[in-house]
Every structure is written in C-alpha cells, then in structure tokens.
Chains A and B, each alone.
Chain A
C-alpha cells in the first residue's frame, strides 16, 4: 500500500445480505466495522455489538429540569418578586402552574432528544472519508454498505476484499484517507 487508505466499503443489494456479511466479519474477529443503509436495518446494533445510547434518561433529566425551572419561575416571579393580588387568589399554587410546567418539561425534553441524538452521532460533521467516495452516493437511495476501517487489526486489503466478495458484495470501493480524494 503506497497511498493512505482509510478503509474499504462493500456494496450489497439487500439489508439481509448486509446483516449476514456484518455478522460473518464479526465472527472472524473484525472489530472496526460500520454499516451504512438508506433506512434503519433492525438487528444491526446487536450484530455490531454496541450499546444503544441511553437517550431516554437524558430526556427524563432534561424534562425534570424543565419542570423545576418552570415551577421556580412561576413561584419566584408571582409570589416573591412581583406579588400581584387578583381577586384574593393565591400568589402561587400548583394547580395553576400545571400548564406552564408541563410545557417547559416537554420543551427541554425535546431539545435533549434532538441535541442528544446529534451529540451521540457527532453531527454536524461535514467531513468524513465515507462522504468523499462518489461510488457510495447511492447509500442514501438503495445500497447497503459495509465499511471496514483500515485501522482494524485484521485488516489486509486483498484478503478483506476477497472476504467481502465471497459474502456477496456486488462491488468493493476503496475509501482514501484524508488529504486526497
């Protein structure tokens, strides 16, 4: 290898083949794998063996923070900083605080879900070796791609290409490293 190689990408025609190939490479001890697909291929997270991020807990915490902030805001502005007496109504009560509290909990929860997704996925990320390969442009349409990074301990370009072709890849693309395209 004379030029730096970031990895290779094998193109499959169906999600089933992609899963099958990913599973087989994992069995042969390949660690640095990624699967690209136009829609989620269910079961891939188990095959690739990574944990699904605990976004639910992040959202829960954010929602609790939102609710607490809302209650604090309504109590402090209405009962402490600017008490306004209207018809003998209490300056603060949980009953009338429900709508605003609920809305702020949802608002912060939604920001956490969206922001958490971006953070876990490291998005926005406008430069990535995979995005520079013209031959992989159809992955967002109908191609299912298995990426093996050159940094994997098992990586050998010729052997990996042969493996992937045996597993049914219709073509194998080289992914150049940074600095060239």
Chain B
C-alpha cells in the first residue's frame, strides 16, 4: 500500500488563497493569454511603445552624430550610460534570486512569482546589455569585445581588464537565465498548446513546447535539470554583480577602489530588483485578478527581503564613508566629503532618503501588507537605486586628482531620451510576455497545493 504523507503547511499561511483546484489554476493563468487583453494593457502598451520609439530616435542621433550627443566628456567619461547599465543589470538579479536561490532554499512561496520575475530578469539584462554596446562609440564593431579571430585588428581582448570580464559575465548571465526560464516554461507551454483554440496558437505553442507530454520520465529529467540550473545560477548571479563592481573596484580611483564593492553591489542589485518585482506585480495581479495566486503573503515576504537588503545597502554606505576616513588617504577623504556636501550632494541625499530612510517603514506589518504603501516605497527604491549608481560614477569622476582637470556633468536631452526609452523597451517586452506567455508557473503552483504535495515512502 502506498503510504501517502501530506505535508502540512505548518504555521505558514496557504500559498494559494480561496477555493481552488488544479483546473482553476490553469484557467486563471491561461485566460490571461487566451482572452483579449484588458483596456489597461493597451494603454500601457501604447505608452511603452512610444517610449521605445523615443529610444529609437535617441539611438539614431547617437549613431549618426557620435557620443557627443550625450553629456559625457572628460573627466566624466562614464555617466548615464553606465549608470543605466548597472541599474538594469541589478534589476535582473531579483529574478534569479527568486527563481534559483529561493528554490534551493525550498521557499515554496516563490512559485507564484518566479515566472514573472525571471521574465523581468531577461528583459532587464537586454536593456542593460544595450548600454555598453552603444557606449563603445562604434557599435558595429562591438563584436571586437569577444575573442573572435579578427582580420581587421589581428589582436585579442585583454583578459586582464575587468571590462572584458563583464562581457563574459553579462552574456553568460543572459544565456543561462534564458535557458532556466525556458526550461520552466516548457510544461506550461504544453498546457497552452493543449488548450489552444486557434490553429496558429496550437502551432506556435506546440513548436515551443517541444512535444512535452508530461511523462514521468520527462518530469524526472526535467526536475533534475531544473535543480542543476538553479545550482548553476546561484553562484552565477552573485558573480555577475561582483564582476560589474570590479569595473569600478579594480581601478585605482578614489570612490571606486573599495573592497566592499562586490557584496555591496550584490545586495544593492537584489534590493533594486525586488523593488521592481513589487512594482510590476502589484499592478499585474490587480489588472489580471491574480490576488489569490500572488497573495498579500507573497508581497509581505518580498517586502521583508526589501527591508533586509535595504539594511545591508545602508550599512555599505556607512562603511564606505568610514573606510575613506579611516584610510587617512586625502583623496579618498576628499571624494567622500565632496559626495556629502559637494555639487552633487542632492543626489546622495536623495539616495539615502529613498534607500535607507523610507524602507524602514517596512518594519511595520501595516506597511508591508498595504498595497499602496509598498507601491510608493518600491518606486522610491527604484529611484534611489538609480541615484546610487549615478553617485558612484559621476561624483567619483567629476573631481579628478588635479583641480585643473575638474569638471562637471550635465545630462542632455538625448541622455534622458535614452533612459526613458530603456524603460519603454523593458515594459514593452514585459507586456508582450504577459500577453503571450503564462505569467505564473502553473505546474509549479499545482505541485505546492495541498493535493499535489504528496510523497511516497517506498
């Protein structure tokens, strides 16, 4: 006789609220794809596509006239472009944390949010990857970054440079995230295939689902591969933002040359990424009536992570200042004094307010479970994290070692168009994802329902 052991939820609240069944979950998720999208989707798509077109104009100006259309110049040679790069790549990290790290820690609550968060990762990395490529000046030669035998220059990338490490880190991160996401999608694509009402949908989802049958053998290898991909993604996600921080930390520039950078960047990445997940899911769950799948309990948990990473980030800000003063190095001291009271002081205090002060509200359950409050807090964190990167980059560069080389940075209209346009690109891709792919991992949610959570002791 089979001895079936039902895991009780223990003290944890149910992961899916209200009356539910396997079929209900499928219906709730698939109807988003199968029915006509709500009016809000069209409005959001209109805005996003408009912003993406603005990005197109900004890139046209950049490619035809050169980097001079941006505000970058000596000594501030990196500005909005690299700020945006680090911002977007950081956003991606929450998706991998939710999909891989929380999976390894067996945090079952991740199942209803991981699909959307992983999609967000991929789109954020697309936006991020764009910035270094367009910043190289001649983007049609961007392939020189890769070690491809090249008859024009007959030389290789310099592997001692952190910038080339970054090329490998970001391209690996994108590829592995895509593989992980697609692996998770296969069974759900098969569900969409089996439910498809039109020939085109049947063909498209059929092609993408690779002929998945849900056979026990399929599941067995699938679960193994999923676990392995999670195990590979976990150190990967930590390595990616560490390597991004090496772009700064390996240089010998006061304000950049700090050993705390890798953990500080990783925590900041998770912090900003969770803020973005909350921002998007708060809207999506309401527009698509997914409140019973993405419950207040999920949002509460994400807010707790937001609070924890906010504290790590706040601690890092303090350590940076302490190290600068403790080092006794006059240049280090100057950079940090200048950050706090210099011409860009408004940027650092915006950052401290958004990233350290505001998230303290999340100590209180009332704020963690209030959708309007968490939405406002998450938006502020997004803003604060953008300014964090702006601070690190611009305030460290604008005062060079010699006062004769001092300068300042003033963004141009094209800078703002590119920044806004990258949000347009990101949101357009995310809205297309909501329209055509299952936004919640159905198979995984079913497996954590009480009826699905059984184990057999042989």
The residues of A with any CB-CB pair to B shorter than 8 Å are 14-16, 19-20, 23, 34-48, 50, 52-53, 55-56, 59, 63, 73-74, 77-78, 81-82, 84, 86, 89, 96-97, 99-100, 102-104, 106-107, 109-111, 113-114, 116-118, 120-121, 123-128, 130-131, 137-142
Contact = CB atoms under 8 A, between A and B. Distances in A.
A123 B212 contact: yes
A107 B164 contact: no
Contacts of A45: 216-217, 220
A82 B155 contact: yes
B contact patch SS:
helix
B147 A73 contact: yes
Contact of B215 (A36, A52, A137): A36
A75 to B, nearest CB: 9
A158 B157 CA distance: 70
Nearest to B246: A99
Interface of B: 2, 4, 21-23, 26, 147, 154-160, 162, 164-165, 168-169, 172, 175-176, 179-180, 182-183, 186-187, 190-191, 193-195, 206-207, 210-225, 228-229, 232-233, 235-236, 239, 243, 246, 442-444, 446-447, 451-452, 454-458
Contacts, number: 218
A116 B190 CA distance: 20
A37 B176 contact: no
B158 A99 contact: no
A110 to B, nearest CB: 4
A106 B443 CA distance: 26
Given A34-B215, A43-B456, A47-B456, A141 B194 contact: yes
Given A113-B225, A137-B195, 19 more contacts: A19-B2, A38-B443, A39-B444, A40-B223, A44-B220, A45-B220, A47-B458, A55-B221, A55-B225, A78-B158, A84-B158, A110-B229, A123-B186, A123-B218, A126-B210, A140-B214, A141-B191, A142-B21, A142-B22
A77 B175 contact: no
B186 to A, nearest CB: 8
Q: Which 10 residue pairs across A and B have the least CB separation, nearest first?
A: A43-B456, A142-B22, A117-B225, A77-B156, A124-B210, A99-B165, A40-B219, A140-B191, A39-B447, A35-B216
A34 B217 contact: yes
26 contacts: A35-B215, A38-B214, A42-B455, A43-B2, A44-B216, A45-B216, A47-B458, A52-B224, A59-B232, A81-B156, A84-B155, A86-B158, A99-B162, A99-B165, A99-B243, A100-B159, A102-B239, A106-B235, A107-B175, A110-B175, A120-B221, A123-B186, A123-B210, A123-B212, A137-B194, A139-B213
B213 A96 contact: no
A106 B243 contact: no
A51 B219 CA distance: 13
